[in-house]
Structure formats: structure tokens, C-alpha cells
Amino acid sequence: MAFRQRLAKPLLYTVGATTVGGGILYYTYRPRNIPGADSAVVPPFGADGHFRPPRFPKIKTRAEQIADLKRSGGSQGASSTATPQNEDDVYDLLVIGAGATGAGVALDAATRGLKVAVVERDDFSSGTSSKSTKAYDFLAGSEGIETSYFLTRSKALDAFPMLKKDNLVGALVYYDGAHNDSRMNVSLAMTAALYGSTVVNHLEVTGLEKDANGKLCGATVRDLVEEKDGKTSKEFKIRARGIINATGPFCDSIRKMDDQGVKEIVAPSSGVHVILPGYYSPQKMGLIDPKTSDGRVIFFLPWQGNTIAGTTDSPTKISYNPVASEEEIDWILSEIRRYLAPDINVRRGDVLAAWSGIRPLVKDPNAKNTESLNYGDRAWTVASLSSPTEQRFPVRGEKISPLYPFVDGEVRYAVRHEYAQTAVDVLARRTRLAFLNAQAALEATPRVIDIMAGELGWSSKRKETEWTDTVKFLESMGLPKSKLSATRKQVESGKLEFKDSVEYKMYSRHDQPGDELESDLKFGSKGGLKRGSPAEK
């Protein structure tokens, strides 16, 4: 009897704890309905009934920023052997590279009271920072984020009707963040400028400066915009007490400016993404396959009205505008086919854009591939430094592409307030048109060049240079090779010469998911969707 009494108490505690724990687990992961679309939050209008957008302080022009840089090196435009007249002109910190890391470092340092300069060879977010999966963890902890939960098989198919039904038990739903990576990067750079940083794009570092003790004390730079305008770009010096190398995959080239004998530490890895039409995924829900055919992870996410799929992880060579290989694109498409219903014909022609970003993984001498390397949470830990306006703006202006909502006023704003200096700056980073649809970006290029020419006073020769450079860039965004020789006149006339009607339908979408493409018939496959396909619901 005494034994039973001694056993009853622990048993009661165990049953109670199990019941409470099970209840908590069930409540947390219980089956729920499909996430619905949240209604847009529109701020109230003013007392007079008019919407008044917020006003921001005026920042210095690019020319004024460059003048500040020259002043730090004791130069007003010519060469740079002199020391500055005032030590206050010397920067506390020079950041080389204005990707997400460089812009974030600059903003963080500026808000701590340091005098900061940021220089970027190309444009803000022109490299890896603009070529992410566009998703990352929310930075606000658990605040406002729902817990993960389970979807039954039927509700999983309701949420994602194109899923393969075979062996489907259900789905786990978790919440993550989605964002516009290059716009975030530009916002960080502009916010750093508002806090007093000197922020200049298209300014190339050509060498590092050392004092008599061999300590780094600055850098030599040249303005690449002057070269685009046909002018001679003279080098000048920037003086700084500290230098941060935030050039991502190109950091070894900067390190070698300091020491030619230094060993390379970057193991470049290519991450390819493709853009598919929006009907491939629900508007409010994506999909992750944690175990692909070769053990990697692939994402399938709604983004900017389209669907983004990727990514790969392959060793690559460092280049400024890497091109996604057909092999990598085909791998992504084949993985997509594995978890979509068999009557969904995923076609190469559905790819509206494709790009490759280079991850600057740290090299391990004992590692044979980049898949075994560990790397951290990149630069998005600084994203909370860029404060949202929490305002909504009325849309005004004419579209630069009939397929997307970007308007001509955005081009002018990017030039006047965001240091956009080339057509690629606008098409790829201020708007995301080049990432959403390479063909649409090509068609918008003449209009963008004309607007920027009016704002910046470009000559006819500079406009021709912009056309050539933009078309070359769009090759790295998946523009078909036959379009690389297109002239501006052909694009403006709307009569691009496609090699054949198959290619026209491949790269300029006019069909619906259920339509049968000539390319499907050509290769003997049954295109489109079968009658009764879940994707037609």
C-alpha cells in the first residue's frame, strides 16, 4: 500500500506534465486554415483631404560628395601628394564596397558619430547583395510572427494546388521574411548619407595608401562615370584612419593591394535563381524542398508578382556579371518538376529571367567543395537600421513597361535622390525590372536612357554607350543570345526579329498555364495542363 502511494504521486506529476505538454504542442502545431491575404494598410489623409507624403532632408549631390573625398586627400581635382589643410577633413573610416555589408557598416558607424566614406566600383547592391533568394528571417524576434503549424493533405493542396499528390501526407507551414534586396541596400546607403556619410558609387579603388610606418591611411580612386562621358578620369587620394574591405567575392583583390603575397581566402560559389510566371505559386505562400536529388535545398517563392526558384551552389570563377549556365537552369527546373503534379509541364520557355550571384565563402584548405563550408547570416542583421516610412504613395506617371508597375517618375527620382548613374542602375537596382523579366527590361531601356539623358545631360555618344552596356548586362539576366544584337530602333519599333515563333513564345509570354506551346509540340511533349488539373482551380 505504501509502495502504491509512493508511486502514485510521481505518476500523477508525469501524467499532468505530459497532458500539459501535449496540449501546448497541439495548440502550437495544430492544423489551421490557409493563410489569407492581409488587407493593405492605408494611412489617413490630412485634415484638408489631401494625402501628404513625408519629406526627407536633402542630401549632397554626387559631385559634392566627390569634392568632400578630394578634400580629405588635400586635392581639389588634380593629383594627390598634398596632405589635407584640416585634419577634420580626414575620414575616420573608409568602407570599400557598398553592398549590403558595406552600406550597413557605413550606417552603423555614422550613427555612432564617426566620419565615414563609402566608395563602390559599380552601384549599390550591384553584386551578390541584389542576387539573393529575396527571403530572410524576420529581425524582430517572435514579435508579430505566428508559430509553425501543420496543414492537412487537403488543405495543403488547396493552398498549393500544383503540388504532386502522390505520397503527400501534409505540409508544415513556417513564417519567414521576404524583401526587395537591392531596394533595401539602396535604402541603407541613402540613410547613411542622411546621417552624414559620404557615399559615392561608380568610384573604383585603384590602390591603397600607407604612411611612413607602413600603416594603411587611405586609398587612391578614380571616377568611372567620367570615363563613360568620354572624359579623362584622374586619380585622387582619400585619407582615412581606418579601412574596411567589404567587397564580397572581390575582397582578395583589395587585400593584394596591401600585400601581393597574401593567400586568397575566398572560395567563390555560384547561386543561380530563375524567375517564372506568377501562376506557378500562390500569392501568399512559398515552398521549400529541404532535400533535393543531390541533397541541396531549393526554394519556390512568390516575389513581385512572379515566382522565384533556386538556388544552386557550385564552384565558380569570379566575374563582375556572371551568367547563369543552362546546366544550372535545367537543374532548377528538373527539381521543380519533382514536386509539382505530373500534368504540370515546366518548360524552359517559362523562365522570364535567370541570374547568378557569387557567394564569397571563406576558403577551407581541407574542403573539396563549397557545400561543406559554413557561412553566417550575411548583412541582413543590419536591415533594422533602415527605418520604413510607413506611408503609402499615390501612383503617378507613365509606365516604362506595360507589364509591370514601374513608372517614369521613379527613374527621375532615382537620378535626383538615389545617385543612379547608369540605365542598369535603374533597371536592375532602383526598379527590379531586369530581375523580373529580361525581355521587358530590354524593351524599357530606350525610355529609361532618354529620361536619364534629360536629367544628367548625356551626349548622343553616352546614350549609345548606355545602350551597349545595358544589353550586355541583360545577357547576365537571361536575355536570349539572339537579342544581344538588337538595335535600339528595332526595340522602339516593337518589331524585334525573333529567330522563329518558338523563341518568341519562349521569351515573351502571351500564354496561360493551360495553353500548348509550339515548343512543346516541337519536342514531342504534351504541353500545358490536362483537363481537371488542380492548377486550373
Residue-wise pLDDT for 190-239, tens only, equals 999 999 999 999 999 999 999 999 999 999 999 999 999 988 889 999 99
- Region 117-131: mean pLDDT is 93
Q: Please give the Cα distance from 472 to 483 (Å, whole number).
A: 10
Helices assigned H by DSSP within 33-99 = 62-72
pLDDT at residue 395, rounded to an integer: 47
Q: Please give the Cα distance from 365 to 49 (Å, whole number).
A: 65
Q: Please give the Cα distance from 44 to 482 (Å, whole number).
A: 50
Out of 81-90, 126-135, 148-157, 259-268, which region has the weakest mean confidence (pLDDT)?
81-90
HEC string of 116-138 equals: EEEECCCCCCCCHHHCCCCEECC
Out of 395-399, 401-405, 512-516, which region has the weakest mean confidence (pLDDT)?
512-516
Question: In this structure, what are the phi and psi dihedrals at residue 483, rounded to the nearest 5 degrees?
Answer: -90, -10
Instruction: Tell me the three state secondary structure of residue 39.
Output: coil
Give the whole-number percent of the chain exceeding pLDDT 90.
Answer: 41
Bond prior to 311 in cis (omega within 30° of 0): yes
- Region 57-62: mean pLDDT is 89
**Statement: residue 104 has pLDDT above 70:** yes
**Statement: residue 83 has pLDDT above 60:** no
Domain boundaries, the chain: 62-129+180-258, 141-175+267-362, 398-497
Cβ(132)–Cβ(124) below 8 Å: no
pTM for this predicted structure: 0.75
pLDDT tens-digit readout, 273-310: 999 998 888 877 888 887 777 777 888 888 888 999 98
In this structure, what DSSP letter does residue 27 have? H
pLDDT tens-digit readout, 323-364: 999 999 999 998 888 888 888 888 888 999 999 999 888 875
Instruction: Tell me the three state secondary structure of residue 270.
Output: strand
DSSP secondary structure string for all residues of 84-111: PS-GGGSBSEEEE--SHHHHHHHHHHHH
pLDDT at residue 99, rounded to an integer: 94
pLDDT at residue 140, rounded to an integer: 47
- Region 501-517: mean pLDDT is 43
Q: Which residues pair with 460 in a beta bridge?
A: none
Which strand (E) or helix (H) includes residue 234? Answer: none
Out of 68-77, 105-114, 236-245, which region has the weakest mean confidence (pLDDT)?
68-77
pLDDT at residue 414, rounded to an integer: 95
Q: Please give the Cα distance from 532 to 537 (Å, whole number).
A: 8
Q: Tell which residue, 146, 144, 150, 151, has the closest CA to residue 175.
A: 146
The beta strands (E) that lie in 131-261 are given as 135-136, 149-152, 170-173, 177-178, 198-200, 203-210, 216-223, 236-239, 243-245
Which cell goes with 490?
Answer: 528595332
Out of 202-211, 310-319, 470-479, 522-531, which region has the weakest mean confidence (pLDDT)?
522-531
Q: Please give the Cα distance from 98 to 195 (Å, whole number).
A: 16
**Statement: residue 517 has pLDDT above 50:** no
Instruction: Tell me the three state secondary structure of residue 215.
Output: coil
Which cell goes with 18?
Answer: 505530459
Comparing 292 with 188, the larger pLDDT belongs to 188
Which strand (E) or helix (H) includes residue 342? Answer: none
pLDDT at residue 359, rounded to an integer: 87
Cβ(108)–Cβ(385) below 8 Å: yes
Q: Please give the Cα distance from 285 to 34 (Å, whole number).
A: 9
Q: How many Å separate Cα 519 from the centre of its chain?
A: 31
Q: How many Å separate Cα 96 from the centre of its chain?
A: 20
Comparing 227 with 47, the larger pLDDT belongs to 227
The model's confidence at residue 14, banded by pLDDT at 50, 70 and 90, is confident
Out of 30-39, 308-317, 322-331, 367-376, which region has the weakest mean confidence (pLDDT)?
367-376
**Statement: residue 516 has pLDDT above 50:** no
The model's confidence at residue 377, banded by pLDDT at 50, 70 and 90, is very low
The model's confidence at residue 500, banded by pLDDT at 50, 70 and 90, is very low
Q: Please give the Cα distance from 472 to 453 (Å, whole number).
A: 19
Comparing 280 with 240, the larger pLDDT belongs to 240
Q: Please give the Cα distance from 275 to 307 (Å, whole number).
A: 6
Among 1.10.760.10, 3.20.20.10, 3.20.20.450, 3.50.50.60, what is the CATH number of 62-129+180-258? Answer: 3.50.50.60
- Region 488-513: mean pLDDT is 57
Q: Average pLDDT over the chain, rounded to whole?
A: 80
Q: Within 10 Å of residue 337's Cβ, how many Cβ atoms?
A: 14
The model's confidence at residue 177, banded by pLDDT at 50, 70 and 90, is confident
Which fold would CATH assign to domain 141-175+267-362? D-Amino Acid Oxidase; Chain A, domain 2 (3.30.9)
